Each structure stands twice: as C-alpha cells, then as structure tokens.
Amino acid sequence: MTLSIAGILAIGSLYAASGAGLIGRLALLRWVLLAMTLAYPLRGLGFFFLMETFPDNSIAFWYVSSAICLVFGVVHAVGLRQVWSCL
C-alpha cells in the first residue's frame, strides 16, 4: 500500500514540476493538476470517514497527516491558479 501511495505521489511530483515549467509538458497536465489539487483537501477533510477503515492508526497520525494534506492542497491551489492560463 505504501509503495502504491509513493508511486502516485512521485507521478504527482512530475506533473507539478511540469506545471511549474521545470520539465517538459506532460499529457493531460491541466486535468491531472486539478485532480491533485482536489484530492489533497478531500483526503485532509475526509479523514473522519477513513478512520474506520484503518483503526490501527492513532488520532495523532490522522490529525498530522490531514493537516499536511490540507496545506499541500492550498499550496497546489495557489500554484495552479497562478499558472492556469499558461497550461
């Protein structure tokens, strides 16, 4: 499971770098960046529903990881708004 999440985050990093102009343009750039921007706050706010699925995780894990996801979502939203017209 961790390897899958790491792989998805690595692909997301490539798309973020592409959106920032650090690497060449990737396919479906706008839509993947938009999906990433929406996924982070959904995960951050949806932890109440996920807690039942993973009962072994501590409440501290849920709060910290959810806060990180919310911050990432805000950062992605600000960045995406800045470059949307160039994508």
Write the pLDDT tens digit of every residue in 16-26: 999 999 999 99
- Residue 8 confidence class, pLDDT cut points 50, 70, 90: very high
The residue-averaged pLDDT of 72-79 equals 93
Distance of CA 22 to the CA centre of its chain: 18
Tell me if 44 sits within 8 A of 67, measured CB to CB. Answer: yes
Whole-structure pTM value = 0.82
* pLDDT for residue 48 is more than 90: no
pLDDT score of 60: 95
The token pair that represents 57 in the structure block? 């995780």
The answer, yes or no, to whether residue 47 has pLDDT greater than 90, is no
